[in-house]
Amino acid sequence: MRNQFILILALSIASVILYKSSFSESKYVYDTNISKDEIFNKTASLPMSWRNCRELRKTENIHDVLFDQLKRFVSVIDNMEYVIAYGTLLGAVRDGDMNPNEVDNDIIMKNDFSPTIELKKRLMAKGLIIFKYDIYRVCDYSRSERTDDPPWKTYVPYTDVYSHLPSLKPFHAKPEVFKTKWKRSKMKIRNIYVKTPDIETSKKWLSLTYGNWMTYQKKNTWKDNLLSRVGI
What is the rounded distance in angstroms from the CA atom of residue 138 to the CA atom of residue 194? 17
At 125-167, the pLDDT tens digits run 888 999 999 999 999 998 888 999 999 999 999 999 999 999 9
At 41-88, the pLDDT tens digits run 665 557 899 999 999 998 999 999 999 999 999 999 999 999 999 999
H-helix segments, 117-198: 117-124
Q: For residue 141, give the DSSP letter.
A: B
Q: What are φ and ψ of residue 101, in 5° steps?
A: -105, 10
Nearest CA to 192 out of 113, 118, 84, 85 is that of: 84
pLDDT of 232 higher than 90: no
The residue extents of the domains of the chain are 22-229
pLDDT of 5 higher than 70: no
What is the rounded distance in angstroms from the CA atom of residue 125 to the CA atom of residue 113? 20
Within 13 Å, how many C-alpha atoms sit on residue 163's CB side? 12
What is the pTM for the complete model shown?
Answer: 0.84
User: Going by DSSP bridges, is the β-strand pair 104-110/135-140 parallel, antiparallel, or unpaired?
Assistant: unpaired
At 180-193, the pLDDT tens digits run 789 999 999 999 99
Q: For residue 113, give the DSSP letter.
A: -
Amino acid at 18: L
